[in-house]
């Protein structure tokens, strides 16, 4: 395999340049990976909250199914409600027990009577939320309206901020990586100009001459991305208990972070690492190709 | 085999390299290109490997117009034409074996064929025991033998040699010429640009004399008596000489 042999020789003979290129790639993928994971998390959390009933109407202690049905009919007549769900006092108690099953002290003191019945209302479009809230607040039997738009708005602005900062930083690092790999490869081309000239004279095809350089850039990307993936994987494993307690009640995270050995977690990590390696290789190869286009006509 | 039809080459600044050259070289021939430095011998050879493109005229090899080759397929032409340089152009960080094997690796030959091919040409040039040495461990003659081995290992139909004995002592130079003659005897067309009058005169091969970019003499059994024949060509009003 002359091409892989050439790549090994290229890298071995200029270890510092190879290290510079690999470390830049590593940083790009580490920072890019952190922001990618943060963006994915915030998007999933946002999706979860957006998909949940946006308004929870708590009824007065005396109110029950009848008041809820009246309110439901009133809201449905506006045509702006996607769905409603009545949660009785008993159901509220069941949910409460589930949420606090590990804390018997909290369970002992609570009965169905002290929990309010509620109606969960989902709007067809978030823009109708404030209108619906106004209509609900004037209705008989309504005690309190919890309005999730504030939560969603705040999450949305966080998600956008993470996307903007992460995206900009990752873009700058990608440009930096391309330039560094391009520079390293350009130096190699200059050092090997005589060899390239001889190879061309003895009948090497353009690809045979370019392939070792393209592969070399790809290897820098691959190794950099691989190292970053290992660090990110370790970080996720280390932070898992904390993340699980924080995000575990949201279904995708519950499944993902439930156990380090669950198939879902292992497959997700494998896909993440494979995607990183592939993107790393492609990015490195692009950096080399830029140098080849510029310096090897 | 090789046909130059009214080929001219001008370098930037309108400096003539070759002027209106028409020459035919049949397959299997051994040809010397002689002439003073700067006369156009190297231009002739560089045009043949399409390292340069003619300013006008057509060069064909096996009836294919070589100006039609592009940078993406020029390697197809280069595999037909081996070339040997005065300064050897060997890769100093590779052994004799690796320098030669490189050509067969480029052709995608399997390892076993590469070893067989390299050993065959090393036998031909008389260097089988030097296969693991690096160029800096060789004499100039051995380096040139390695360079010839590299040029012929891929089985080219044409072998070009640009002053192959320029850096060598007379005995070593004759050794190199013997190898080139042997390569020619095996069927390869050989074109040698040379300054070595003794070799040209004794080998009695077809000789093209180039001066000022033009072919001023084409003899079947050439001699290196440039001055005398130049004068003759000028008095006959040879059109190539009129250009300088």
DSSP state of A116: P
Higher per-residue pLDDT: B85 or A54: B85
The answer to whether A95 and A115 have CB atoms below 8 angstroms apart is no
* Same domain for A129 and A68: yes
CA-to-CA dists, residue B198 to A79, B45, B171, B204, angstroms:
108, 22, 12, 10
| Percentage above 70 pLDDT, chain B | 91
* Same domain for A167 and A286: yes
* Phi and psi based region of residue B62 (left: phi greater than 0; alpha: psi -120 to 50; beta: remaining): left
User: Could you tell me which of A283, A194, A200, A208 has the C-alpha nearest to residue A3?
Assistant: A208
DSSP H stretches of helix in A52-128: 65-76, 89-99, 104-108
d(CA A5, CA A208): 13
Kindly give, in sequence order, each residue whose CB lies less than 8 Å from that of residue B72, ignoring residues fewer than 6 positions away.
A206
Mean pLDDT over each residue of chain A, to the nearest integer: 85
> What is the per-residue pLDDT for A121?
85
Closest-CA residue of chain B to A211: B106
* Same domain for A208 and A134: no
| Confidence at B151, pLDDT banded by 50, 70, 90 | very high
> What is the per-residue pLDDT for B46?
92
Residue A199 has pLDDT above 60, yes or no: yes
Range name among A151-155, A184-188, B195-199 with the lowest pLDDT average: A151-155
* Same domain for A162 and A38: yes
Contact (CB<8Å) A206/B79: no
Tokens linked to A195: 């060899």
Residue B239 has pLDDT above 50, yes or no: no
Contact (CB<8Å) A205/B106: yes
Residue B229 has pLDDT above 70, yes or no: no
Residue A63 has pLDDT above 80, yes or no: no
d(CA B151, CA B155): 8
Contacts of A201 in chain B (CB under 8 A): 49, 51, 78, 83, 89
Contacts of A2 in chain B (CB under 8 A): 102, 105
> What is the per-residue pLDDT for A48?
79
> What is the per-residue pLDDT for B146?
95
| Percentage above 70 pLDDT, chain A | 97
> What is the per-residue pLDDT for B227?
55
The answer to whether A72 and A66 have CB atoms below 8 angstroms apart is no
> What is the per-residue pLDDT for B243?
37
CATH of residue A64's domain is: 3.30.70.3040
Compute CA A24 distance to the chain's CA centroid, rounded to the nearest angstrom: 22
The rounded radius of gyration (Å) of the Cα atoms in chain A is: 29
> Reduced to 3 states, what is the DSSP secondary structure of residue B11?
strand
Q: Which of A147, A178, A197 is the last residue of a domain?
A: A147
Range of the domain at A100: 55-147
Contact (CB<8Å) A203/B103: yes
Residue A86 has pLDDT above 80, yes or no: yes
Contact (CB<8Å) B89/A199: no
* Same domain for A276 and A200: yes
Contact (CB<8Å) A203/B79: yes
The domain total for chain A is 2
Is B91 in CB contact (< 8 Å) with chain A? yes
| Confidence at A158, pLDDT banded by 50, 70, 90 | confident
- Can you tell me which residue has the tokens 């990608």? A174
* Same domain for A101 and A7: no
d(CA B223, CA B205): 9
* Same domain for A184 and A133: no
Residue B228 has pLDDT above 70, yes or no: no
Residue A103 has pLDDT above 80, yes or no: no
Using alpha carbons only, give the angle A79, A85, A88 rounded to the nearest 5 degrees: 140
Could you report the predicted ipTM of this complex, rounded to two decimals?
A: 0.81
Mean pLDDT of B128-144: 93
> What is the per-residue pLDDT for A230?
93
Range name among A135-144, B26-35, B38-47, B145-154 with the lowest pLDDT average: A135-144
* Same domain for A221 and A74: no
Using alpha carbons only, give the angle B222, B228, B231 rounded to the nearest 5 degrees: 120
Q: Which of A147, A181, A212 is the last residue of a domain?
A: A147
Higher per-residue pLDDT: A47 or B176: B176
Read off the pLDDT of residues A3-35 as tens digits, 9 standing for 90 and up.
787 788 878 878 888 899 999 999 999 999 998
Higher per-residue pLDDT: B148 or A262: B148
Kindly give, in sequence order, each residue whose CB lies less than 8 Å from that of residue B150, ignoring residues fewer than 6 positions away.
A202, B82, B90, B99, B100, B102, B103
Residue B235 has pLDDT above 70, yes or no: no
The answer to whether A280 and A224 have CB atoms below 8 angstroms apart is yes
Q: Which of A147, A171, A195 is the last residue of a domain?
A: A147
Q: Tell me the nearest-neighbour CA distance from A203 into chain B, angstroms.
A: 4
The answer to whether A70 and A139 have CB atoms below 8 angstroms apart is yes
Mean pLDDT of A170-193: 90
* Same domain for A95 and A141: yes
Contacts of A199 in chain B (CB under 8 A): 102, 106
| Confidence at B29, pLDDT banded by 50, 70, 90 | very high
Residue A129 has pLDDT above 80, yes or no: no
Mean pLDDT over each residue of chain B, to the nearest integer: 87
| Confidence at A53, pLDDT banded by 50, 70, 90 | low
* Same domain for A66 and A38: no
* Same domain for A164 and A76: no
The answer to whether B192 and B164 have CB atoms below 8 angstroms apart is yes
* Same domain for A187 and A135: no
Is B52 in CB contact (< 8 Å) with chain A? no
Mean pLDDT of B125-137: 93
Residue to substitute from B50, B75, B149, interface A, most A β-carbons within 10 A: B75
| Confidence at B240, pLDDT banded by 50, 70, 90 | very low
CA-to-CA dists, residue A186 to A15, A181, A218, B183, B220, angstroms:
15, 8, 15, 39, 50
> Which among B49, B72, B105 has CB closest to A201?
B49
């Amino acid at each position: 395999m002359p091409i892989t042999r050439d790549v090994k020789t290229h890298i071995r003979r200029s270890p510092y340049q190879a290290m510079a290129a690999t470390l830049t790639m590593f940083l790009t993928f580490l920072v890019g990976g952190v922001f990618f994971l943060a963006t994915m998390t915030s998007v999933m959390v946002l999706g979860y909250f957006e998909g949940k009933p946006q308004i929870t109407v708590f009824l007065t202690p005396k109110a029950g199914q009848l008041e809820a049905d009246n309110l439901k009919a009133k809201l449905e007549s506006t045509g702006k409600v996607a769905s409603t769900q009545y949660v009785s006092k008993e159901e509220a108690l069941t949910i409460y027990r589930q949420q606090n099953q590990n804390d018997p002290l909290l369970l002992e003191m609570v009965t169905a009577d002290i929990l309010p019945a509620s109606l969960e209302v989902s709007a067809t479009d978030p823009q109708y939320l404030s209108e619906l809230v106004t209509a609900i607040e004037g209705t008989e039997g309504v005690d309190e309206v919890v309005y999730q738009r504030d939560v969603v708005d705040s999450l949305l602005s966080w998600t956008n901020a993470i996307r903007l900062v992460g995206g900009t930083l990752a873009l700058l690092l990608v440009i930096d990586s391309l330039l560094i790999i391009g520079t390293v490869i350009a130096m190699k081309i200059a050092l090997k100009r005589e060899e390239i000239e001889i190879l061309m004279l003895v009948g090497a095809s353009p690809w045979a001459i370019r392939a070792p350089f393209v592969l070399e850039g790809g290897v820098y990307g691959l190794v950099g991305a691989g190292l970053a993936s290992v660090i990110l994987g370790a970080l996720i494993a280390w932070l898992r208990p904390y993340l699980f307690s924080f995000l575990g009640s949201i279904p995708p995270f519950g499944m993902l972070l439930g156990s380090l050995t669950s198939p879902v977690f292992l497959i997700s990590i494998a896909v993440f690492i494979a995607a990183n390696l592939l993107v790393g290789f492609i990015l490195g190869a692009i950096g080399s190709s830029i140098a080849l286009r510029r310096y090897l006509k | 085999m090789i046909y130059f039809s009214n080929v001219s080459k001008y370098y930037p600044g309108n400096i003539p390299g070759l002027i209106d050259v028409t020459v035919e070289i049949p397959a299997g021939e051994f040809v010397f290109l002689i002439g003073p430095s700067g006369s156009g011998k190297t231009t002739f050879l560089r045009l043949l490997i399409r390292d340069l493109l003619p300013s006008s005229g057509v060069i064909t090899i096996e009836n294919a117009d070589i100006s039609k080759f592009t940078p993406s397929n020029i390697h197809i032409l280069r595999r037909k034409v081996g070339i040997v340089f005065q300064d050897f152009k060997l890769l100093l960080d590779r052994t004799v074996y690796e320098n030669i094997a490189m050509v067969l690796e480029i052709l995608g030959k399997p390892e076993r064929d590469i070893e067989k091919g390299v050993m065959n040409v090393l036998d031909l040039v008389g260097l089988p025991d030097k296969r693991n040495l690096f160029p800096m461990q060789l004499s100039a003659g051995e380096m040139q033998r390695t360079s010839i081995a590299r040029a012929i290992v891929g089985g080219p139909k044409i072998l070009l040699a640009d002053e192959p004995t320029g850096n060598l002592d007379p005995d070593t130079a004759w050794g190199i010429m013997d190898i080139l003659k042997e390569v020619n005897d095996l069927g390869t067309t050989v074109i040698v640009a040379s300054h070595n009058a003794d070799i040209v005169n004794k080998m009695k091969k077809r000789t093209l004399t180039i001066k000022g970019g033009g072919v001023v003499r084409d003899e079947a059994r050439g001699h290196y008596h440039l001055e005398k024949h130049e004068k003759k060509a000028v008095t006959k009003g040879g059109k190539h000489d009129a250009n300088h």
